[in-house]
């Protein structure tokens, strides 16, 4: 045996010995084991409820701190604890509330039995602290995210240790949601120090006092955050010994880790791998739960002149003439585009069938969804006929060249039916949608110059309102509210600021939106009171077509078969996490 | 040598500031706006966007932004009456967002005083974010580099002395293959192979699919000998390219050396082939390797974006990439500083190594 062979052999033996010496994944002691989840959301930026921003922050803070207002996951609506079903009474603080006569203030009563992990009672002092941080955030340069509620909330008055009143600038059906943002979740004021130094508190990434089912364990940057069961949790025993959120930035690896049993649960796996997960579940290895998603994609068309962008209203509230887009200013052209696109085929190609069609701007799972409103049909011939009617003619009978204007409403004769379509780079789903759009619109005589561009650049173009059309999406909040003031009314049509970038304006639509958010017009903001307005708005939307609504991306959760207690609701995976157990096989 | 090193370091100072100025201006010239990115969504008002822009200082002229990053703003906006708001302002306006209320006094000291600022996207100090990623990057980078050199160099020597043999052919093909395979593909294939295909019935799987340490609730990351299994796949992926490159360089260098007169002299003195190759040949053939070992070491500092992403390795590369995408200027600039310093020091190290190894080179 020569020296090289000996060297290789010794090396191989050492490597094998090292592998054998590796301890298996440590399984913590505890009746419910450790829940391990992986996510590509990155490290938490902060675990202080007042400073949380991204989804990772929100999820982790939600485990560690109580919410101010609770949600019934079976109806996805904010509930008074005193009226909630017993299984939905845990983890939040407000027992009941009363709205004043004109709807401009709400008095909340908190439960008196909730304590932080150090035994200090949760009181209105914590709410007062949160309001001080929110209302002084701009002045003090604090990184508080809920600062937007200062546009709507006028003041917060403390009545006693367990009662407080929120005064609003005007009555609005979002009032409860804004109050919820005061403590969504709530932070322990006694552990935070002066508001002025909130940005630099050591609490932010290592909270010493918590109040949810878990307390803070440790944060290993770029790798994982661990939480430990809170033995003093006021709303029952916490079965799991802890929860670990692994940081896995690749969506393929995320699924592979679950399939290999390295993680207990997976949330929102890539649509391209869901069939694998279902097959894995069919073999008895996991439980899969699918639900209608709350993020949706759309094709937006600019109504206004992109060469001379204007706000919808001037400073005095007078309507400004925004001109008309030469192509999409004509409603017949917008309808032709909508008819030419086979959304079902897009769902199949872009999200592997994991989507639900939308008929308008309301997601199908919403209480406001107009069930009787038909989907826009796929009828390319009708679309071509509409283009003819609108003065866009095929003058050379060559399908490879675009139609040209001949008596079109807003375009000079001879103008080609050509526009630029943007979507954000790196989003495979939207790139697939846009490619199909390009192909199908070309079938009826459009010429689509499709460009994928960096999201930052797209935002600039959208904000400046200089585009023809783009494909993008919205993710609705939870609980979902159908309010579209900022995205589809004149109030949101502000250059460089608003989200109604397509400059859609319909006076009746705006009025209905206002009524739907007014307590006095909606029987105190009941579903029954608000729904009729939204149904009519959806009909108007489908007539005007500021967007071609496409589909929601279905949600999915899966848990290994050894996880008990897994019984999610749409967008609510962990509502009962304290009763989960990861059983040793 | 000390004089030479000091002179090179002094010469590097203007280079360093030139790099930071150029990068800062390029970054500002890039399309997009961090405020739009941070406030995208229907719930933010224009006033809140303006306040955020004023807080981040992104609406100031480019030169002022650079100056503030470099020297801080605690001298630009001061609070002399103790009311918590600025009242003595140089260069910067006291009321930057025009809302009638003066801004907070400046509290940044600038990078020349060791303050890298706060991240735009996370409410954290940049230095903390960088420092917590450095150990993982060093660990993966240096082990991969060591494996690359320690395996690649002997392979190169053997391939040269057995030129034309099956060993030479196999290693040549291997080098071409491993330097051509995309890292992300190799990583995913290894994960699939070792994670699920090879050990379907072994629980827990002997090869972990990602991360640097076992998932435990508390206790931190164990010492390296307790988690070697986490290194196997990412080190293989990174080192395979190093092995390919170093082996080909070493082979070429060795072949060149073997044609030299002193090698013929060694043979004619009656020395054995092995002694001649390793004692006389390899030592001289290593000299050119030193020229790119320096930059390779500094390359480790930048992290390996793709490998770190595929294997969920908590290193600097991932952080840097995410920061560029999110236009997190303070973090990006911290990376530029690290990269600039590493490059400057890497080339200096390379020159010093060259002079130390090759007696024909003298410091002047």
Among A247, A252, A456, beta carbon nearest to B37: A456
A585 touches chain B (CB under 8 A): yes
| Res A269: pLDDT | 94
Q: In what order do the strands lie in the sheet with A105-110?
A: A94-99, A105-110, A163-168, A153-160
Q: How confident is the prediction for chain B on average, in pLDDT? A: 85
B279 touches chain A (CB under 8 A): no
| Segment 219-258 of chain A within 8 Å of chain B by CB | 220-224, 226-228, 241-242, 244, 246-250, 252-253, 256-257
B33 touches chain A (CB under 8 A): yes
CA–CA distance, B102 with B87 (Å, rounded to integer): 7
Is A310 a residue whose pLDDT tops 90? yes
Give residue-wise pLDDT tens across range A325-381: 999 999 999 999 999 999 999 999 999 999 999 999 999 989 999 999 999 999 999
Domain match, B105 and B225 both: no
Contacts of B118 in chain A (CB under 8 A): 199
* Domain presence at residue B283: yes
Collapsed DSSP state (helix, strand, coil) of residue A229: strand
Is A24 a residue whose pLDDT tops 50? no
CA–CA distance, A181 with A144 (Å, rounded to integer): 11
CA–CA distance, B255 with B277 (Å, rounded to integer): 10
ipTM: 0.80
Q: Is-contact B323 B116, C-beta < 8 A? A: no
Among B124, B218, B222, beta carbon nearest to A217: B218
Partners of A108 in the β-ladder: A97, A164
Task: Give me the mean pLDDT over the A162-181 stretch.
Answer: 94
Domain match, B200 and B106 both: no
Band (pLDDT 50/70/90 cuts) for residue A6 is low
Partners of A582 in the β-ladder: A563
Task: Give me the mean pLDDT over the A308-316 stretch.
Answer: 91
- For B44-78, the three-class secondary structure string (H helix, E strand, C coil) is CCHHHHHHHHHHHCCCCCHHHHHHHHHHCCCCCEE
* Domain presence at residue B136: yes
Which of A134, A196, A223, A460 is the best mutation test for B, with the most CBs of B within 10 A? A223
Band (pLDDT 50/70/90 cuts) for residue B123 is confident
B136 touches chain A (CB under 8 A): yes
Percent of chain A with pLDDT over 90: 75
Contacts of B205 in chain A (CB under 8 A): 260-262
Interior/surface letters A334-351, b for 16+ CB within 10 angstroms, e for the rest: bbbbbbbbbbeebbeebb
Domain match, B107 and B143 both: no
Q: Which of A67-81, B206-220, B286-300 has the lowest mean pLDDT?
A: B286-300
Task: Give me the mean pLDDT over the A223-242 stretch.
Answer: 94
Interchain CB distance below 8 Å, A223 and B327? no
Is A198 a residue whose pLDDT tops 80? yes
Q: Quick one: residue B70, left, alpha or beta (phi over 0 = left, psi -120 to 50 = alpha)?
A: alpha
Interchain CB distance below 8 Å, B217 and A242? yes
| Segment 169-208 of chain B within 8 Å of chain A by CB | 188, 191-192, 195-196, 203-206, 208
Domain match, B205 and B296 both: yes
Domain match, B81 and B199 both: no
- For A273, other C-beta atoms within 10 Å of its C-beta total 20
Q: Which of A116-120, A225-229, A403-407, B130-134 has the lowest mean pLDDT?
A: B130-134
Closest CA of chain B from A496, distance in Å: 8
B310 touches chain A (CB under 8 A): yes
Among A204, A454, A585, beta carbon nearest to B32: A454
| Res B84: pLDDT | 81
Q: Is-contact A384 A445, C-beta < 8 A? A: yes
| Res A27: pLDDT | 39
Contacts of A259 in chain B (CB under 8 A): 196
> Can you give the residue ranges of every domain in chain A?
13-247, 293-554
| Res B322: pLDDT | 85
Collapsed DSSP state (helix, strand, coil) of residue A483: coil
Interchain CB distance below 8 Å, A22 and B206? yes
| Res A163: pLDDT | 97
Domain match, B94 and B153 both: no
Task: Give me the mean pLDDT over the A4-14 stretch.
Answer: 49
| Res A48: pLDDT | 94
How far, in Å, are B11, B12, B169, B344 from residue B348 at the CA level?
11, 10, 36, 6
Find tokens 């709507």 and name the residue.
A152
| Res A16: pLDDT | 42
Interchain CB distance below 8 Å, B32 and A46? no
Q: What's the domain count of chain B? A: 2
Among B113, B137, B161, which residue terminates a domain?
B113
Q: Is-contact A156 A169, C-beta < 8 A? A: no
Q: Is-contact A510 A487, C-beta < 8 A? A: no
* Domain presence at residue B253: yes
CA–CA distance, B147 with B155 (Å, rounded to integer): 12
Find tokens 């878990």 and name the residue.
A214
Interchain CB distance below 8 Å, A261 and B121? no
The CA-based dihedral angle spanning residues B31, B34, B37, B42, taken in that order and rounded to the nearest 10 degrees: -120
Collapsed DSSP state (helix, strand, coil) of residue B22: helix
Q: How far does chain A reach from its first CA to its final CA, in angstroms?
A: 46
| Res A3: pLDDT | 52
What is A13-247's CATH topology?
D-Maltodextrin-Binding Protein; domain 2 (3.40.190)
Sign of CA dihedral B147, B152, B154, B158: positive
CA–CA distance, A516 with A526 (Å, rounded to integer): 10
CA–CA distance, A577 with A250 (Å, rounded to integer): 26
| pTM over the 0.90 mark | no
Give residue-wise pLDDT tens across range B160-177: 989 999 999 999 999 999
Among A51, A253, A485, beta carbon nearest to B123: A51
Interchain CB distance below 8 Å, B314 and A257? no
* Domain presence at residue B349: yes
| Res A14: pLDDT | 46
Interior/surface letters A80-96, b for 16+ CB within 10 angstroms, e for the rest: bbeebeeebbbbbbbbe
- For B233, other C-beta atoms within 10 Å of its C-beta total 23
Among B103, B136, B195, beta carbon nearest to A260: B195
CA–CA distance, A420 with A422 (Å, rounded to integer): 7
What tokens appear for A496 in the block? Answer: 């460089």
Task: Give me the mean pLDDT over the A181-207 stretch.
Answer: 91
Interchain CB distance below 8 Å, A247 and B314? yes
Closest CA of chain B from A404, distance in Å: 33
* Domain presence at residue B4: no
Domain match, B109 and B130 both: no
B221 touches chain A (CB under 8 A): yes
| Segment 44-63 of chain A within 8 Å of chain B by CB | 45-46, 51, 53
Which residue intervals of chain B are DSSP H helices?
Answer: 2-29, 34-39, 46-56, 62-71, 126-131, 134-161, 166-180, 183-192, 229-258, 261-268, 273-275, 283-301, 305-310, 316-325, 329-357
CATH architecture, domain A293-554: Roll (3.10)
A315 touches chain B (CB under 8 A): no
A465 touches chain B (CB under 8 A): no
CA–CA distance, A80 with A95 (Å, rounded to integer): 6
Domain match, B106 and B243 both: no
Domain match, B100 and B148 both: no
Find tokens 């002395």 and name the residue.
B161
Domain match, B105 and B204 both: no
CA–CA distance, A211 with A123 (Å, rounded to integer): 12
* Domain presence at residue B353: yes
Among B66, B85, B113, which residue terminates a domain?
B113
Domain match, B182 and B326 both: yes
Task: Give me the mean pLDDT over the A493-515 stretch.
Answer: 93
CA–CA distance, B359 with B46 (Å, rounded to integer): 67
Band (pLDDT 50/70/90 cuts) for residue B364 is low
Interchain CB distance below 8 Å, A22 and B228? yes
- Check whether the bond before B204 is cis (ω within 30° of 0): yes
- For A25, other C-beta atoms within 10 Å of its C-beta total 15
Give residue-wise pLDDT tens across range B223-276: 998 888 899 999 999 999 889 999 999 999 999 998 889 888 988 888 888 888
A496 touches chain B (CB under 8 A): yes
The CA-based dihedral angle spanning residues A324, A328, A330, A333, taken in that order and rounded to the nearest 10 degrees: 170
A135 touches chain B (CB under 8 A): no
Domain membership of residue B315 as a residue range: 126-357
Contacts of B208 in chain A (CB under 8 A): 262
**In terms of CA atoms, which chain B residue is nearest residue A152?**
B43
Give residue-wise pLDDT tens across range B293-314: 777 777 676 668 889 988 999 9
Percent of chain B with pLDDT over 70: 96
CA–CA distance, B40 with A498 (Å, rounded to integer): 10
Contacts of A241 in chain B (CB under 8 A): 217
A5 touches chain B (CB under 8 A): no
Q: How confident is the prediction for chain A on average, in pLDDT? A: 90
Domain match, B146 and B218 both: yes
Helix axes B316-325, B329-357, angle to 10 degrees: 140
Which residue intervals of A65-183 are DSSP H helices?
Answer: 124-135, 137-140, 175-182
């Amino acid at each position: 045996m020569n020296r090289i062979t000996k060297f290789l052999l010794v090396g191989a033996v050492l490597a094998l010995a090292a592998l054998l010496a590796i301890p298996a994944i440590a399984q913590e002691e505890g009746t419910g084991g450790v829940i391990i989840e992986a996510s590509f959301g990155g490290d938490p930026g902060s675990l202080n409820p007042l400073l949380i921003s991204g989804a990772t922050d929100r999820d982790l803070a939600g485990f560690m701190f109580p919410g101010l207002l609770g949600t019934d996951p079976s109806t996805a609506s904010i509930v008074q604890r005193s009226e909630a079903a017993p299984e939905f009474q845990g983890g939040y603080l407000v027992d009941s509330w009363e709205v004043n006569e004109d709807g401009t203030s709400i008095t909340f009563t908190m439960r008196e039995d909730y304590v932080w992990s150090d035994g200090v009672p949760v009181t209105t002092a914590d709410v007062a602290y949160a309001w001080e941080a929110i209302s002084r955030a701009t002045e003090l340069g604090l990184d508080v995210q809920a600062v937007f509620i200062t546009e709507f909330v006028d003041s917060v008055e403390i009545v006693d240790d367990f009662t407080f009143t929120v005064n609003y600038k005007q009555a609005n059906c979002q009032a409860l949601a804004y109050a919820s943002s005061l403590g969504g979740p709530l932070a322990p004021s006694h552990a935070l120090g002066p508001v002025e130094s909130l940005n630099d508190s050591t609490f932010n990434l290592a909270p010493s006092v918590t109040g949810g089912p878990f307390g803070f364990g440790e944060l290993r940057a770029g790798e994982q955050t661990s939480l430990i069961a809170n033995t003093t949790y006021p709303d029952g025993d916490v079965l799991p010994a802890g929860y670990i959120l692994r940081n896995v930035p690749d969506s393929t690896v995320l699924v592979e880790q679950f399939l290999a049993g390295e993680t207990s649960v997976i949330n929102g796996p890539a649509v391209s791998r869901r069939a694998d997960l279902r097959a894995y579940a069919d073999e008895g290895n996991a439980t899969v739960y699918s639900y209608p998603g709350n993020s949706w994609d759309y094709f937006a068309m600019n109504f206004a002149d992109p060469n001379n962008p204007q706000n919808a209203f001037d400073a005095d509230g007078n309507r400004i003439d925004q001109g008309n887009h030469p192509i999409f200013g004509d409603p017949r052209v917008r309808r032709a585009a909508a008819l030419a696109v086979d959304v079902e085929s897009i769902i199949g190609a872009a999200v592997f069938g994991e989507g639900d069609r939308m008929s308008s701007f309301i997601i199908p799972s919403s209480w406001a969804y107009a069930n009787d409103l038909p989907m826009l049909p796929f009828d390319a011939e009708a679309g071509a006929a509409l283009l003819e009617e609108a003065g866009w003619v095929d003058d050379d009978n060559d399908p490879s060249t675009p139609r040209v204007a001949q008596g079109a409403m807003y375009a000079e004769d001879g103008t080609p039916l050509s526009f630029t379509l943007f979507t954000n780079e790196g989003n495979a789903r939207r790139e697939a949608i846009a490619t199909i759009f390009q192909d199908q619109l070309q079938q009826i005589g459009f010429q689509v110059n499709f460009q994928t561009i960096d999201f930052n650049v797209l935002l600039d173009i959208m904000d400046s309102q200089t585009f023809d059309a783009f494909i993008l999406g919205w993710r609705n909040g939870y609980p979902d509210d159908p309010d579209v003031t900022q995205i589809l009314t004149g109030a949101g049509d502000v250059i460089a600021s608003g989200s109604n970038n397509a400059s859609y304006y319909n006076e009746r639509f705006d009025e209905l939106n206002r009524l739907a958010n007014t307590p006095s017009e909606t029987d105190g903001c009941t579903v029954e009171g608000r729904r009729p307005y939204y149904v009519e708005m959806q009909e108007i939307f489908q007539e005007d077509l500021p967007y071609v609504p496409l589909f929601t991306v279905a949600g999915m959760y899966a848990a290994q078969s050894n996880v008990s207690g897994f019984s999610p609701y749409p967008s609510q995976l962990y509502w009962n996490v304290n009763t989960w157990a990861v059983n040793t096989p | 040598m000390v004089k030479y090193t000091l002179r090179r370091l002094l010469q590097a100072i203007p280079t360093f500031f030139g790099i930071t100025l150029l990068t800062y201006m390029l970054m500002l010239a890039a399309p997009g706006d961090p405020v739009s990115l941070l406030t995208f969504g229907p719930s933010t008002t224009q006033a809140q966007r303006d306040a955020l822009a004023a807080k981040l200082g992104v609406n100031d002229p480019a030169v002022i932004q650079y100056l503030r990053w470099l020297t801080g703003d605690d001298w630009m906006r001061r609070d002399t009456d103790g009311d918590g708001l600025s009242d003595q302002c140089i260069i910067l306006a006291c009321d930057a967002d025009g809302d009638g209320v003066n801004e907070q006094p400046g509290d940044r000291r600038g990078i020349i005083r060791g303050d890298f600022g706060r991240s735009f996207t996370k409410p954290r100090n940049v230095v903390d974010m960088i420092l917590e990623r450095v150990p993982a990057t060093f660990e993966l980078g240096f082990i991969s580099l060591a494996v690359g050199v320690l395996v690649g160099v002997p392979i190169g020597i053997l391939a040269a002395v057995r030129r034309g043999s099956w060993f030479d052919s196999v290693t040549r093909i291997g080098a071409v293959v491993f330097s051509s395979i995309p890292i992300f593909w190799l990583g995913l294939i290894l994960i699939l192979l070792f994670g699920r295909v090879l050990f379907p019935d072994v629980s827990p799987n002997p090869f972990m699919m990602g991360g640097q340490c076992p998932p435990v609730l508390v206790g931190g990351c164990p010492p390296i000998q307790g988690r070697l299994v986490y290194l196997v796949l990412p080190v293989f992926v990174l080192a395979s390219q190093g092995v390919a490159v170093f082996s080909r360089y070493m082979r070429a260098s060795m072949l060149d050396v073997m044609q030299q007169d002193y090698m013929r002299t060694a043979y004619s003195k009656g020395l054995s082939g092995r002694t001649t190759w390793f004692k006389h040949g390899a030592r001289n053939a290593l000299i050119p390797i030193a020229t790119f070992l320096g930059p390779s070491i500094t390359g480790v500092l930048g992290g390996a974006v793709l490998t770190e992403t595929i294997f969920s390795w908590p290193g600097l590369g991932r952080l840097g990439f995410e920061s560029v995408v999110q236009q997190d200027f303070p973090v990006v600039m911290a990376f530029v500083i690290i990269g600039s310093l590493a490059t400057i020091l890497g080339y200096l190290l390379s020159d010093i190594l060259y002079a130390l190894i090759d007696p024909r080179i003298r410091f002047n």
